[in-house]
Amino acid sequence: MFIKRSIFGGFVIVVLLQSVLAQRQSLFVAPQTTDPQITTNLNNHYISINRGVAPKNQLLVFLPGTGAVAFNYREFNNTAADLGFHSVNITYPNDIASNSLCGGTNTDLDCYAQVRLETIDGTNRTNLVNVDRANSIENRMIKLLIYLRNQFPNDNWGQFLIDDSSIDWSRIVISGHSQGGGHAGIIGRYHPVVRVVMFSAQDFNVASDSLANWIALPNTTPNASLPSKFWGFIHQRDELINFNTISTRTWPAYGMPQFGAVVNVDGNSPPYGNTHSLTSNIECGEFHGCVVGDVRLVFENGVPVYKPVWEYLLSNTTSPLSLNSVRFLRLGQEVDRPNVGLTTKYFRISVAGNGFDANSRVFINGSEMETEYIAQGELRAKLPAGKIRAANGFAVQIRNSDGALSNSLPF
Whether 167 and 223 map to the same domain: the answer is yes
39 vs 35, 71, 92, 376, CA distance in Å? 9, 19, 11, 44
pLDDT score at 5? 36
Element (H or E) spanning 27, and its range? Answer: strand 24-29
Whether 296 and 393 map to the same domain: the answer is no
Whether 289 and 142 map to the same domain: the answer is yes
Whether 281 and 355 map to the same domain: the answer is no
Whether 144 and 232 map to the same domain: the answer is yes
Sign of the alpha-carbon dihedral angle for 65, 18, 82, 55: positive
Q: Which residues of the chain have pLDDT under 70?
A: 1-22, 318-320, 402
**Residue ending a domain, choose from 270, 287, 313:** 313
Contacts of 51 (CB under 8 A, 6+ apart): 23, 25, 155
**Residue ending a domain, choose from 281, 313, 345:** 313
Determine the Cα–Cα distance for residues 158 and 171; give it in Å rounded to an integer: 11
pLDDT score at 357? 81
Q: Which domain holds residue 149?
A: 2-313
pLDDT score at 320? 62
Whether 110 and 243 map to the same domain: the answer is yes
Average pLDDT, the chain: 91
In this structure, what are the phi and psi dihedrals at residue 244, rounded to the nearest 5 degrees?
A: -65, -40
Whether residue 271 has a cis bond before it, omega within 30° of 0 = yes
334: which DSSP letter? E
pLDDT score at 22? 57
Element (H or E) spanning 116, and its range? Answer: helix 111-121
- In this structure, how many other beta carbons lie within 10 angstroms of the beta carbon of residue 43? 16
Determine the Cα–Cα distance for residues 187 and 184; give it in Å rounded to an integer: 5
Whether 354 and 388 map to the same domain: the answer is yes
Region of 200 please: left (phi>0), alpha (psi -120 to 50) or beta: left
**Residue ending a domain, choose from 313, 345, 363:** 313
Number of domains in the chain: 2
pLDDT score at 20? 35
Whether 188 and 239 map to the same domain: the answer is yes
Determine the Cα–Cα distance for residues 131 and 133; give it in Å rounded to an integer: 7
pLDDT score at 358? 84
Residue positions counted in the chain: 411
Report the CATH number at residue 237: 3.40.50
Report the CATH number at residue 371: 2.60.40.10
The amino acid that residue 99 corresponds to is N
Whether 22 and 51 map to the same domain: the answer is yes
Whether 141 and 159 map to the same domain: the answer is yes
Q: Model pTM?
A: 0.78
Whether 330 and 250 map to the same domain: the answer is no
pLDDT score at 318? 66
Whether 336 and 297 map to the same domain: the answer is no
Contacts of 142 (CB under 8 A, 6+ apart): 161, 164, 165, 166, 167
Q: What is the CA radius of gyration of the chain?
A: 23
The amino acid that residue 169 corresponds to is W
End-to-end Cα spacing for the chain: 46
pLDDT score at 54? 87
Burial 125-152, CB ≥16 within 10 A → b, else e: bbeebebbebbbbbbbbbbbbbbbbeee
